[in-house]
Amino acid sequence: MKIVIVCNSLNTDLVTYFKNEYSALIKVYDVLVCKNKNIEHNIFKNYFNSSFSKKAFLDKLSLIDFIISIRLLFKILISKSEIIHFTTAHGSNLFLSIILKPFHVKQVFTIHDLEPHPGFKSKFITFYNNLVINFLADKILTFSKGSLSNQKRSNKFYSFPLSGFDQVIKTKKTGQNILFFGRIDQYKGLENLYIIAKECYRRKLPWNFIVAGKGDHPSLKKISSLPNSTSINRFIENKEIFELFNDSAFTILPYSSATQSGVSILSFAYATPVLANNVGFLSEYIEDNKNGKLFNPDSPLDIVNYLSNVTKEEILAQSQYCIDIFNNKYSVESYKKYILEFFNNIQYE
């Protein structure tokens, strides 16, 4: 079977999943890669540039992407590819998908957020999702079983756990820090984190809070002003990530909205349990008192009460569980197994 896989996004995590998919499929199938020009290409045997855009939805280079799509149409038809997989959400996917539709190449789309997060991009993502689900996709791959419950055409959907990181820390650990990691966005609940950090300081609890990631939020300055809190408001380089997680007892997700979270999987790769508001489908990944703890999003002080009483032994036990479950469920090899099973199944449908 001949498969085309497409990655037009430059999101670091999504590019990682894309490369993992290629590494798995190339051992079994004939694979043609279509990728953003800015993704390094030294692992690919057979690739074409399918996008020059650096933004997911429309920028000044989108016209070039549209023109390239016409060229790619002929490449795909000449190669007699049977399936095309759009691995990331990107406006340029639509150009190629629409002109490819009359030629009966089976189209698969990965949608990470079937229910978009609040924010200025949500209208674009909603439009994209509706177009893909209702008109373009033959199959849709997602990473939350719960997100499929509201979908009318359930036979179109397939899910497996978000996965595909390398395990970094392989021995249980604890620390004195509570880490908020990743891009700062409005739905990520920094207003809750401020309440939590402030109350921990008032109670003289021995926790330090670190916010590490680029973005803006009204509560960020207030958090940074607390004596027990530090903000690193920029893109975090890979060489810094180990130290941030290694010194942390927990990662914290005080989110007001979520689907799955790549931060939680990354935390497990660093043997770090996760404290999270029970929103979206985080409960599919965070097992209460095993690899973290889930909380009522309306009661941020519940997290403070937990931090007041949790013992070192409990943290170490949760850290060990993160290590144990990671290899079985969230590793690179797990992702490769899931993606191969997915394509093995759909080729016979």
Supply the pTM of this predicted model: 0.90
Q: Does CATH place domain 2-161+333-346 in 3.40.718.10? A: no
Percentage of the chain beyond pLDDT 70 is 94
Overall average pLDDT of the 308-313 stretch: 97
Task: Say whether 177-329 and 2-161+333-346 share the same fold.
Answer: yes
Overall average pLDDT of the 138-157 stretch: 76
pLDDT per position as a tens digit, 94-134: 999 999 999 989 999 999 877 766 665 677 888 888 899 99
Integer Cα distance of 28 and 25 in angstroms: 5
Residue 149 has pLDDT above 70, yes or no: no
Contacts of 71 (CB under 8 A, 6+ apart): none
Q: Which CATH class is domain 177-329?
A: alpha beta
CA end-to-end distance (rounded Å), the chain:
13
DSSP β-bridge partners for residue 229? 209
Percentage of the chain beyond pLDDT 90 is 74
The whole-number pLDDT of residue 63 equals: 84
With CA atoms as reference, report the closest residue to 295 among 283, 278, 311, 279: 278
Which tokens hold the place of 23?
Answer: 């590494």
Domain boundaries defined on the chain:
2-161+333-346, 177-329
**8 A C-beta contact, residue 95 and residue 124:** no
pLDDT per position as a tens digit, 175-195: 999 999 998 988 899 999 999
Band the pLDDT of 17: cuts 50, 70, 90. very high
The whole-number pLDDT of residue 147 equals: 61
The whole-number pLDDT of residue 281 equals: 85
Residue with structure tokens 């931060």?
A: 263
